Amino acid sequence: MLYAIFGVQTFLQRDLELRNLSLFNRRKGFSYLFQKSLLFPFSISFFLSQGFIYLFLLSSRKSSSPAAIMSSSSPKMITLQSSDGETFEVEEAVAMESRTIKHMIEDDCANSSIPIPNVTSNTLTKVIEYCKKHVEAKSDEEGLKSFDAEFMKIDKDTLYDLLMASNYLDIKSLLDLGCQTVADKIKGKNPEEIRKEFGIKNDFTPEEEEEIRKESPWVFD
Amino acid sequence: MEALQNDKVRNRKNISRKDGEGRGAMESTSFKDLHESIVFGILVKVPPSYVYKNGRLVCRAWRDLISRDDFIVQNFMETKAELLVGGPTSRRNGYFEVKLMEVEGALQLDCKLRDCGLCRMGRPRSSCNGLLLLNHPKEEGLLQVMNLITTVGLTLPKCPSGCRHKACGSALGFDPNKKEYKVIHMYADSFGFEIFNLAGPPDAAWRIIPGPWEGLQERPYDFERFSWSDPISVNGRVLHWHVASNEYIISMDVSEEISTKTYLPNISEEIESYKYTLAELGGYLSFVYALSDIQVDIWILDDCFRGQIWSKKHSIQLDLIKYVTPENSLLPANHANALPNLSKLVAVAGRGCDILILKHENSCLYIYDMKHRVMKKFKMNMKNPMYFIPHRSSLLHWRNS
């Protein structure tokens, strides 16, 4: 529609210019000046009205966007911004996997991009990958299970980053999956191995340790 | 520890070298940076036995976290259901050995039997929320309640009926209204039920409430041959006793402490009391009836106290079973490994909603999956498994809920 308006405008302007030229060619004089002086404000007002019409259409389009979404086939996209400035565009359904983002959208504070201050772009990429898969393949239990197993084959640091991110973004399934992965690592290790694996310092005194180790021999009241 | 720390330092150097200035400050998180709520979420998913034996010795913060009440409760919610298998020890010295059996996987039905790490136990009777009711190993006539992992326990006083606990029906139950554990014991129904509250004062006594029948002639069983057996406990809230009747079983709600008759379902033929067994399946009572050599029916009781509606859940039919031969069997399809005669199988326990564990007379177990109609034999390395009690590990003490 804008093009149509533009086209009409250029046509009219060209017409005016031609008229101008013809006027100029024909005769100089008062009538020429009169016509020219008329033409100039006319074109300006025409141009201004164009602008107003354009702005009006833009605002009406913006306010009727939900209606437009209903009728259009492309889903609404949400922009997320990681702590190091990278932006990610995701479908609304995928972003809503995070309850934190879901509340933001529902409270209507998510018109432009949503900043996610404590999550780096690497971690956010992985989180989005997880949410995407879980939205797409929602009913395929077997497929999701194997995806989850593959997804968790990552190094420790990435895993801890993922845990922090899913805790902040409140994505329960990812948090549970991450916690279960770490829990499986703890299971079956003795205390020294656990300390080594997680870099924990042993802050017990020998007496405290002995007290815990003493098997309560069938304490019966 | 040194090598690990050197690795971490090297990694950090690599990152700053790769990205130049801006990224130097952005180091990846280590375990120490995780919030306490995340560490809590990780530790609750570790099975209670590992958390108790190893987790408490890692550092002070972990020890304090594991002793918290809310941690213990949450940890219990995450544990998987297992089956406690008890039998007399091979040395026949009056002690029992107890092993825990896990059933994994829907189609593979893998079973693992592991030791619970305790010896010299008495006969196991019943389990509720990780607490086990057992006979005293040495003294006759005494019962004990113990947490299997922490081994913190309590010996109950002698029963007023003078029962020696060799042929009686006792169970440990939990009253969710008053949040307390009770032991319910039945030896002679003319004497009545004997109930002991674990949360009571140390010198508390057993309470006696009337038995299920008013007159001696109402008893359905043969007085000479019958003895009470341990009831089936459904979630620790309702207990059901098999009383050798063709018409009903006796049920009791642990919080109400009133015994009622639960009438058996209407199956196609006359019920014979020796042909059925009771088991807990997915939080409900199930009635397993051996109709013939080739068919066993399984019924579920939907609600015991508000209508007594039974629904037929499944019918095991011999010709429809997909029999999975055990992997390390040398003789594939011979007599010992062939499909068993269904009437010789006795249902001992359920696992989840779809798995039933049946015992054959020659002490083998058969695991049956109702969803996929798969049956698998499981030979246990236990001398004489006699008692099968559904169990869920926990670190709970009977004084906290």
pLDDT in tens, A52-66: 666 666 665 555 444
SS3 B64: helix
The answer to whether residues B42 and B138 belong to one domain is no
The DSSP symbol for A85 reads: S
The answer to whether residues B50 and B147 belong to one domain is no
The answer to whether residues B294 and B172 belong to one domain is yes
By CB atoms closer than 10 A (0-12, 13-18, 19+), residue B78 is: middle
The two structure tokens encoding residue B71 = 């941690």
CA angle, B99 as apex, B97 and B103 as ends, to 5°? 160
- Asked if A201's CB is within 8 angstroms of B59's CB, the reply is yes
Q: Given this model, what pLDDT does residue B36 score?
A: 87
* AA identity, residue A60: S
In angstroms, what separates the C-alpha of B307 from chain A's closest C-alpha?
36
Pairwise CA distance, residues A77 & A93, whole Å:
9
Q: Is residue B93 part of a domain?
A: yes
- Asked if A201's CB is within 8 angstroms of B50's CB, the reply is no
**Interface probe with A: pick from B14, B38, B58, most Cβ of A within 10 Å:** B58
The answer to whether residues B49 and B131 belong to one domain is no
> Are B386 and B136 contacting, i.e. CB atoms less than 8 angstroms apart?
no
- Asked if B153's CB is within 8 angstroms of A218's CB, the reply is yes
Q: Is residue B300 part of a domain?
A: yes
The answer to whether residues B49 and B171 belong to one domain is no
SS3 A1: coil
The two structure tokens encoding residue B280 = 């807990």
* AA identity, residue A68: A
CA A190 to chain centre: 43
Contacting residues of B for A123, CB less than 8 Å apart: none
DSSP labels, B23-36? GGG-PPP-GGGS-H
Q: Is residue B31 part of a domain?
A: no
Contacting residues of B for A190, CB less than 8 Å apart: 54
Contacting residues of B for A201, CB less than 8 Å apart: 59
**Nearby residues of B57 by Cβ (< 8 Å), 6 or more positions away:** A191, A204, A209, A212, A213, B63
CA angle, B400 as apex, B396 and B401 as ends, to 5°? 85
Q: Given this model, what pLDDT does residue B360 score?
A: 85
- Asked if A195's CB is within 8 angstroms of B46's CB, the reply is no
> Are B366 and B337 contacting, i.e. CB atoms less than 8 angstroms apart?
no
Pairwise CA distance, residues A1 & A7, whole Å:
10
Q: pLDDT of chain B along its 401 residues, tens only?
A: 444 444 444 444 333 333 333 333 345 567 777 888 899 999 999 999 899 988 888 988 899 999 899 999 999 999 988 888 888 887 767 788 888 888 776 666 777 888 877 777 889 999 999 999 999 988 888 999 999 888 888 889 999 888 888 889 999 999 999 889 999 999 988 888 999 999 888 778 899 999 888 887 888 888 888 889 999 999 889 999 999 889 899 999 999 999 988 898 888 888 888 889 999 988 899 999 988 888 889 999 987 676 778 999 899 888 888 887 766 555 455 555 677 788 888 888 888 888 888 888 777 888 888 888 888 888 777 878 888 999 999 999 888 65
> Are A131 and A98 contacting, i.e. CB atoms less than 8 angstroms apart?
yes
B25 touches chain A (CB under 8 A): no
CA angle, A41 as apex, A35 and A46 as ends, to 5°? 115
Pairwise CA distance, residues B115 & A91, whole Å:
51
Pairwise CA distance, residues B31 & B4, whole Å:
13
The answer to whether residues B41 and B101 belong to one domain is no
The answer to whether residues B113 and B64 belong to one domain is no
Contacting residues of B for A200, CB less than 8 Å apart: 31-32, 58-59, 62
Q: Is residue B130 part of a domain?
A: yes
End-to-end Cα separation, chain B, in angstroms: 40
> Are B359 and B365 contacting, i.e. CB atoms less than 8 angstroms apart?
yes
In angstroms, what separates the C-alpha of A121 from chain B's closest C-alpha?
12
At residue A15, φ and ψ (nearest 5 deg) are -60, -45
Q: Given this model, what pLDDT does residue B88 score?
A: 85
A59 touches chain B (CB under 8 A): no
Pairwise CA distance, residues A88 & A53, whole Å:
34
CA angle, A34 as apex, A30 and A40 as ends, to 5°? 145
Query: Do the strands B180-186 and B193-197 form a parallel or antiparallel pair, or are they unpaired?
Result: antiparallel
CA A51 to chain centre: 32
Q: What is the pTM of this model?
A: 0.75
At residue B244, φ and ψ (nearest 5 deg) are 55, 40
The answer to whether residues B108 and B216 belong to one domain is yes
Contacting residues of A for B35, CB less than 8 Å apart: 164, 167
The two structure tokens encoding residue A44 = 């300006």
Cα distances (angstroms) measured from residue A5 to each of A1, A14, A46, A50: 6, 14, 11, 8
In angstroms, what separates the C-alpha of B342 from chain A's closest C-alpha?
33
- Asked if A199's CB is within 8 angstroms of B35's CB, the reply is no
Examine the fold and report which residue of B72, B95, B119 is the final residue of a domain before the chain moves on.
B72
- Asked if B55's CB is within 8 angstroms of A167's CB, the reply is no
B5 touches chain A (CB under 8 A): yes
- The whole domain housing B59 covers 36-72
- Closest alpha carbon within chain A to B2: A196
Q: Given this model, what pLDDT does residue B252 score?
A: 92
A209 touches chain B (CB under 8 A): yes
CB within 8 Å of chain B, chain A residues 132-171: 156-158, 160-161, 163-164, 167
The answer to whether residues B117 and B205 belong to one domain is yes
The answer to whether residues B64 and B165 belong to one domain is no
The answer to whether residues B42 and B182 belong to one domain is no
Contacting residues of A for B56, CB less than 8 Å apart: 212
In angstroms, what separates the C-alpha of B45 from chain A's closest C-alpha?
6
Mean pLDDT over the full length of chain A: 77
Examine the fold and report which residue of B72, B99, B116 is the final residue of a domain before the chain moves on.
B72
The two structure tokens encoding residue A114 = 């949503």
Pairwise CA distance, residues B252 & B197, whole Å:
16
| CATH (domain of B344) | 2.120.10.30
How many domains is chain B built from?
2
Q: Given this model, what pLDDT does residue B226 score?
A: 87
A198 touches chain B (CB under 8 A): yes
Q: Given this model, what pLDDT does residue B193 score?
A: 92
> Are A219 and B27 contacting, i.e. CB atoms less than 8 angstroms apart?
no
The two structure tokens encoding residue A123 = 């971690």
Contacting residues of A for B32, CB less than 8 Å apart: 199-200
Q: Is residue B334 part of a domain?
A: no
Query: Which residue, B132, B125, B133, B120, is CA-closest to B94?
Result: B120
| Nearest beta carbon to residue A189 from set B32, B54, B202 | B54
- Strand order of the β-sheet with B232-234 is B232-234, B238-241, B248-253, B259-263
Examine the fold and report which residue of B55, B72, B89 is the final residue of a domain before the chain moves on.
B72
In angstroms, what separates the C-alpha of B353 from chain A's closest C-alpha?
18
> Are A218 and B151 contacting, i.e. CB atoms less than 8 angstroms apart?
yes
A121 touches chain B (CB under 8 A): no
Contacting residues of A for B11, CB less than 8 Å apart: 157
Q: Given this model, what pLDDT does residue A54 score?
A: 62
Q: Given this model, what pLDDT does residue A113 score?
A: 81
Q: Is residue B302 part of a domain?
A: yes
Query: Do the strands A77-81 and A114-115 form a parallel or antiparallel pair, or are they unpaired?
Result: parallel
Q: Is residue B27 part of a domain?
A: no
Pairwise CA distance, residues A74 & A55, whole Å:
24
Q: Is residue B29 part of a domain?
A: no
Radius of gyration of chain A from Cα atoms?
33
The answer to whether residues B53 and B118 belong to one domain is no
- Cβ–Cβ contacts within 10 Å for residue B333, how many? 11
Residue ranges in chain A whose pLDDT is less than 70: 1-47, 49-73, 110, 215-221
